[in-house]
Chain A
Amino acid sequence: MAEAARPDARTDARIDPRPVRPAAAPAVRLTAVRKEFGSVCAVDHAELTIHQGEFFSLLGPSGSGKTTLLRLIAGFERPTSGRIELAGREVTALPAARRDVHTVFQDYALFPHMTVEQNVAYALTVAGVRKSERLARAREALRTVRLDDHGPRRPAELSGGQRQRVALARALIDGPGLLLLDEPLGALDLQLRQEMQRELQRIQRATGVTFLLVTHDQEEALTLSDRLAVLDRGRIAQTGPPLEIYERPATAFVAGFVGTTNLLSGPAAVRVVGAPGTYSIRPERIRIAAPDGPDGTPGPGERSMPGRIAEIVHAGAHLRCVVRLDGGDDRLTALRLNSGPLPPAVRPGAAVHLLWRVDDASAVPG
């Protein structure tokens, strides 16, 4: 092979083409990025900073532009306008092959005619690394994803979860500055998905590589990420740590998309919360009590509303109680842990009091 003849110094230089980057430079910085497909604007004025070593998620429903954003960062698409920087270097016009970024595709995109080992070593083969070193490093990468003895097999002989791991190993082989994951767990069943979520977290911590995960699964984004951005129709609606996004959603869309919520606006807000504006009250923050029971009177800083249970939905670990408030058609959903048999007061049609802390009705600015 031609690459075997090359002197070591040069091949080594090609393995790691990244310049020494200033520690402060963020892994990704997007400035006013816009992408149009014909007359459709897929991404509009995206401003985003992802720090080195961060596990960052782009969360949004299908068609919200999250995959387009990922493809812009990978270099598969060029932005209509705006600027993309990776590790402090502008790459807006750079092709995918010359960016220090690897992608794990939703369908894994493993090369079917190559063995698992050849797939994993592909980036090294392309860079002209010697065969012996290539193999050693491919085995090491396969060990990282716990597929040590699957090297000589073909992708077609592997299960979905194993292919997923091969795709990860292939993308991590030469220590990229950034790993993009495009709905990587979408094709797996629930149990495997949860297992792979833990794997992703473990691998991210072990390697220290910046991860950018694209997902429509809010639970996945909340569980895995250090920070996330929620996308709504091509725009970034909110960026922040999971808890902040969950507790203080910036827009009604974020409040509704990340978790479920009781969203109140206009006259309903005045009636229920007692002030004009838009408010979100998480169902798990609302307590249900019998009107005459000892816990039915509001404590300090609590607000209480009388109503009747309209519906009880059993959702496994939780019960969702929809309560119609007295004196109107306002409905609030309260979540109750399914921790034992329901007290007699909690049944459809029963009169109850709903109680929540005033702080739990968070104002939604957007």
Chain B
Amino acid sequence: MSVTEREPGARARLAALLAPPLLWLILAYLGSLAVLLLSAFWTTDPFTSDVVHSFTADNFREILTDPVYRTVALRTLGIAVVVTLLDALLALPMAFFMAWVATGRLRRALLVAVLTPLWAGYLVKAYAWRVMLGEHGIVNAVLAPLGLHGPGYGTTAVVIVLAYLWLPYMILPLHAALERLPAHHLEASADLGAGTLRTLRSVVAPAVRPALLAGSVFTFSLSLGDYLTVQIVGGRTQLLGNVIASQVTLDLPLAAALSAVPVVLVVCYLAAVRRAGALDSL
């Protein structure tokens, strides 16, 4: 629908309709981001811990040169990548099964099983894993007869719990993409002489790729920004999230500069995904 000059009433109504959400988006959302970015260039008085409003790039210099921050940033990035890959590996067969194999009640039951954890509280799930991964938890109890020991609290536990938390965000777009893929396309491929692997590569993969990338945007960015899971099951592991959280009270400008790191990473990732064409259907 186009709003022409001859319909001032329609224009005004449209403006009235869009003003509140736009105002919210600009002021509350982008505004707070801008303030965050701005405050990253301030500094803190080392004696009083008060924020000094003088413009300096010292915070960014510190982040980029201090090996501690670099290690934490790389570790966070690595965990986000591993969690994303792990979720893709887990979600693909699951989504295939839900979309093509399971029928009727089983399919509905699986969909509910995937969705239900999304409604449960984040903290509840993280603490449930803390209990399971503990020294006397169920993980160790199950592994003990095999002569194995669970990962305990640490980086591995963080990866496991994050992969668990974000798995539905990967399964759902994949499931939707596979369900949308017409059965005729698979038959046409077989009809023209293609075996299963060829059909997967030439027909299914291109249809699934955008959904895989869309799902990975969630798993990747949610993993980068997470700071509670690492506090609950991470042991002494430090990630960007909890470093920022601990710096907020000590050195707000430094925390702001640190939080620019995941923002930049996510923006880079989105740009890469956009180039791959995964956002066309959003």
B partners with A: yes
Chain A positions within 8 Å of B, measured between CB atoms, are 74-76, 95-98, 101-103, 105, 107, 109-113, 122-123, 125-127, 170-171
Closest to A127 in B: B193
Residues of B within 8 A of A171 (CB): 191-192
Apart from A97-B192, A98-B193, A126-B198, 20 more pairs, CB < 8 Å? A75-B191, A76-B187, A76-B191, A96-B187, A96-B191, A103-B187, A105-B188, A110-B188, A111-B185, A111-B188, A111-B202, A111-B203, A113-B207, A122-B189, A122-B192, A122-B194, A126-B189, A126-B202, A127-B193, A171-B191
Closest to B185 in A: A109
- Say whether A95 contacts B190, CB under 8 Å: yes
Residues of B within 8 A of A112 (CB): 207
Name B182's contact: one of A107, A123, A125, A170 (CB within 8 Å): A107
The CA-CA distance from A127 to B191 in the complex, in Å, is 12
Does B206 lie at the interface of the complex (its beta carbon under 8 Å from any beta carbon of A)? yes
Closest to A101 in B: B191
Given contacts A109-B182, A111-B203, contact A103 B191 (CB under 8 A): yes
Residues of B within 8 A of A107 (CB): 182, 184
Given contacts A109-B182, A113-B206, contact A126 B188 (CB under 8 A): no
User: Chain B's nearest CB lies how many Å from the CB of A106?
Assistant: 8
Does B195 lie at the interface of the complex (its beta carbon under 8 Å from any beta carbon of A)? yes
Given contacts A107-B182, A111-B203, contact A123 B192 (CB under 8 A): yes
Residues of A within 8 A of B193 (CB): 97-98, 123, 126-127
Residues of A within 8 A of B191 (CB): 74-76, 96-97, 101-103, 171
Per-residue contact bits, chain B 67-108, to A (CB 8 Å; 1 contact, 0 not): 000000000000000000000000000000000000000000
Closest to A95 in B: B190
- Say whether B192 contacts A170, CB under 8 Å: yes
User: Chain B's nearest CB lies how many Å from the CB of A16?
Assistant: 12
The CA-CA distance from A75 to B187 in the complex, in Å, is 9
The CA-CA distance from A170 to B188 in the complex, in Å, is 10
Q: Which 6 A-B residue pairings sit nearest by Cβ, starting from the closest?
A: A109-B184, A109-B188, A123-B192, A113-B206, A96-B190, A126-B194
Residues of B within 8 A of A110 (CB): 188
The CA-CA distance from A98 to B188 in the complex, in Å, is 13
Sampled A-B contacts (13; CB under 8 Å): A74-B187, A76-B187, A76-B190, A76-B191, A105-B188, A109-B185, A109-B187, A111-B185, A111-B189, A122-B194, A122-B202, A126-B189, A171-B191
The CA-CA distance from A355 to B184 in the complex, in Å, is 52
The CA-CA distance from A110 to B187 in the complex, in Å, is 11
The CA-CA distance from A98 to B195 in the complex, in Å, is 9
The CA-CA distance from A170 to B194 in the complex, in Å, is 14
The CA-CA distance from A95 to B192 in the complex, in Å, is 11
- Say whether A102 contacts B190, CB under 8 Å: no
Residues of A within 8 A of B189 (CB): 111, 122, 126
- Say whether B194 contacts A103, CB under 8 Å: no
Residues of A within 8 A of B187 (CB): 74, 76, 96, 103, 105, 109
The CA-CA distance from A123 to B190 in the complex, in Å, is 9
Q: Name the residue among B192, B202, B206 with the largest chain A CB count within 10 angstroms.
A: B192
- Say whether A126 contacts B203, CB under 8 Å: no
Residues of B within 8 A of A126 (CB): 189, 192-194, 198, 202
The CA-CA distance from A64 to B198 in the complex, in Å, is 34
Closest to B193 in A: A126
The CA-CA distance from A342 to B180 in the complex, in Å, is 56
Q: Name the residue among A102, A107, A111 with the largest chain B CB count within 10 angstroms.
A: A111
The CA-CA distance from A111 to B187 in the complex, in Å, is 11
The CA-CA distance from A146 to B182 in the complex, in Å, is 27
Residues of B within 8 A of A111 (CB): 185, 188-189, 202-203, 206
Residues of B within 8 A of A101 (CB): 191
The CA-CA distance from A305 to B195 in the complex, in Å, is 66
- Say whether B182 contacts A97, CB under 8 Å: no
Interface residues of B in 167-195 (CB under 8 A from A): 182, 184-185, 187-195
User: Chain B's nearest CB lies how many Å from the CB of A96?
Assistant: 4
Residues of B within 8 A of A122 (CB): 189, 192, 194, 202
The CA-CA distance from A40 to B194 in the complex, in Å, is 31
The CA-CA distance from A126 to B200 in the complex, in Å, is 12
User: Chain B's nearest CB lies how many Å from the CB of A171?
Assistant: 8
The CA-CA distance from A113 to B189 in the complex, in Å, is 13
Q: Name the residue among B189, B193, B203 with the largest chain A CB count within 10 angstroms.
A: B193
Interface residues of B in 113-158 (CB under 8 A from A): none
User: Chain B's nearest CB lies how many Å from the CB of A15?
Assistant: 10
User: Chain A's nearest CB lies how many Å from the CB of B192?
Assistant: 4
Residues of B within 8 A of A113 (CB): 206-207
Residues of A within 8 A of B206 (CB): 111, 113
The CA-CA distance from A74 to B198 in the complex, in Å, is 19
User: Chain A's nearest CB lies how many Å from the CB of B190?
Assistant: 4
User: Chain A's nearest CB lies how many Å from the CB of B196?
Assistant: 9
The CA-CA distance from A127 to B185 in the complex, in Å, is 18
Name B184's contact: one of A97, A105, A170 (CB within 8 Å): A105
The CA-CA distance from A203 to B202 in the complex, in Å, is 28
The CA-CA distance from A103 to B183 in the complex, in Å, is 14
- Say whether A97 contacts B190, CB under 8 Å: yes
Q: Name the residue among B188, B189, B198, B203 with the largest chain A CB count within 10 angstroms.
A: B188
User: Chain A's nearest CB lies how many Å from the CB of B237?
Assistant: 41
The CA-CA distance from A111 to B188 in the complex, in Å, is 9
Residues of A within 8 A of B207 (CB): 112-113
Per-residue contact bits, chain B 193-221, to A (CB 8 Å; 1 contact, 0 not): 11100100011001100000000000000
The CA-CA distance from A101 to B188 in the complex, in Å, is 11
Residues of A within 8 A of B184 (CB): 105, 107, 109
